[in-house]
Structure 1
Amino acid sequence: MVRVSVTKGMVVAVLVLESFYLLASLKKLADLEEECEGKSQKAVADNRQVKEEAWPPIYIITPTYKRTTQIADMTRMSQTLMHVPNLHWIVVEDALKTSDVVRELLVRSGLPFTHLCATMPDEYKDKPMMGKGVFNRREGIRWLRENAREGVLYFADDDNSYDIRLFEQMRTTRKVSVFPVGMILSLGVSSPIIRDGKVVGFHDAFQAGRKFAVDMAGFAINLRVLHANPDATIPLRLSYLEDGFLRRLRIELEDLEPLAWGCTQVLVWHTKTHRPGTPKMEHIAHTDFDTNLVELYNNMLR
């Protein structure tokens, strides 16, 4: 029989080798786990991208006009819309020609966009009870009829605030979807009244014989409905734009689809930016003409 003398050094060497082997095995397991997690995350991202690409596109029509708060309002809105996939922004300026400053903002947003302009014809300018933004919205609708067949239309003013969940929900619109609008008129909210999942009326401070007492921000339309009614457009009468348009689309109360969890939550608000003082070059002191203020004011006054 051969007797092997095991020394303390040999034991230490074996333990060190086992430790290295264990550490190598643990690292390999960690790398494998990280690789699997990465593949899983990529699969989830790929599935989401495929799902988003299959979603119906949303076409946002936004009338806008030159004012002190315009770029601030549109910047806030654009950075909300940047989080919404498969969206096309149609911005219609109230002007005889589109402006460079608005186009630059649209380009910076990275959103697919169409930049148009329209203004009220002279024969309507002195008439009372004319609705605001009528011809801007009509121009957006004209573009849609010529360039889009499938998707959802939503009128979104540039000074409102939007929860991106609203855009997720309105993609399901089959005919016309409706939802509450917050911070509006004396009631502080305009909302469809829902009973047993159906729209039975409207909770709105301005009823005035309107069949559809809704705000412009309170409904979305499937483009198939728009194309099925080629003569439907925004009427001229102040306060009756929404009601008149939905009537011309031959919509009935039973066609309305309540969103926002049965119209129990507000996902869009009529926020208004406080009107500040208007920057003017004469506000700059003569001693500051060699500073940044001149370029700053020139940029604001474009």
Structure 2
Amino acid sequence: MTEGNLDDALTNQSVPQDIDLESRKLLIIVTPTYARSFQAYYLNRLAYTLKLVQPPLLWIVVEMTLQSDETADILRRSGVMYRHLVCKKNLTDIKDRSVHQRNVALSHIETHHLDGIVYFADEHNIYSIDLFEQMRHIRQFGTWPVAKQTSDKSRAVLEGPVCNGTQVIGWHLNGLSKRFQRFHAEMSGFAFNSTILWDPKPWHRPTLEPIRQLDTVEDGFH
């Protein structure tokens, strides 16, 4: 695991200091990754995007089993403040790999009381710089529409929340099967305040029972 004091990391990477730095909320970007043909391409592309986002930003990258030299090298050269974690859970279903990797990141955020806005950024997706800046306005939980390709890749569709002011009152969905999901938001379609993981008082949580993603994406969080 690669980690360190956030203030030291900002100083060591020569992040430009300006009067707005203290007022900007830390963005905590969580990315599961695994070895495959385009892994380096995806990670480098995401690294270039994150480097353009104004600090402070912490990139938590989680691998399975061990830290690979290739990923470690990409992170060192990224110019982005990062922590390189490992998920050592034995998996019986390869589809759930990223679920357990995200939970490792959530546990790390909880243990170290990292204070910021948590966002799950899968490496193969493409992101707008403005999206990250808008996240800093989130106080508790934020969600937004996400563009997706249909299964036959013939067209793009939008899925996302129906809002009344600041309240989510419904959901735009494509496909009947998704109507029965417990958690409708796509992983790239929401972000939340990290203090809900480790500070129960502001959230009126009676206990500090860990908040984790369930074993299947369709089930959401508990």
2:58 maps to 88
Q: Distance in 2 between matches of 1:153 and 1:196?
A: 22
1:209 maps to 180
1:137 maps to 102
Q: Name which of 217, 222, 230 aligns with 2:193.
A: 222
Cα pair 2:161 2:168 within 8 Å, conserved = yes
Matched length: 192
Residue type at the aligned position of 1:232: I
Structure 1 residue 158 displacement after superposition: 0.2
- Structure 1 residues without counterparts, runs of 5 or longer: 1-45, 249-302
- Structure 2 residues without counterparts, runs of 5 or longer: 1-15, 201-207
Higher relative contact order (CA 8 A, sep 6+): 2
Cα pair 2:66 2:88 within 8 Å, conserved = no
What is the CA deviation profile of residues 94-143 of structure 1, one whole-angstrom value per residue up to 9, with x for unaligned ones?
2x210111111111111110001114424x348xxx53411110111111
Report whether the alignment pairs 1:99 with 2:99. Answer: no
What is the CA deviation profile of residues 36-91 of structure 1, one whole-angstrom value per residue up to 9, with x for unaligned ones?
xxxxxxxxxx9x82213321101111000101000011111000000112100000
Q: Distance in 2 between matches of 1:146 and 1:125?
A: 27
SS at match of 2:60: strand
| Residue pairs, 1:35-184, within 5 angstroms | 49-84=18-53, 85-94=55-64, 96-122=65-91, 124-125=92-93, 131-184=96-149
Larger radius of gyration: 1
Going from structure 1 to structure 2, the CA distance change for 1:97 and 1:212 (only over 3 Å counts) comes to closer
- Percent sequence identity over aligned pairs: 31
Cα pair 1:138 1:233 within 8 Å, conserved = yes
SS at match of 2:130: helix
Q: Distance in 2 between matches of 1:99 and 1:196?
A: 45
Q: Distance in 2 between matches of 1:69 and 1:192?
A: 32
Deviation >4 Å, runs of 4+: 184-187
Q: Distance in 2 between matches of 1:140 and 1:105?
A: 19
TM-score, normalised relative to structure 1? 0.59
TM-score, normalised relative to structure 2? 0.79
| RMSD (Å), alpha carbons | 2.1
Q: Distance in 2 between matches of 1:57 and 1:231?
A: 21
Q: Distance in 1 between matches of 2:80 and 2:209?
A: 28
SS at match of 2:61: strand
Residue type at the aligned position of 2:103: R
Structure 1 residue 184 displacement after superposition: 4.3
Q: Distance in 2 between matches of 1:175 and 1:185?
A: 31
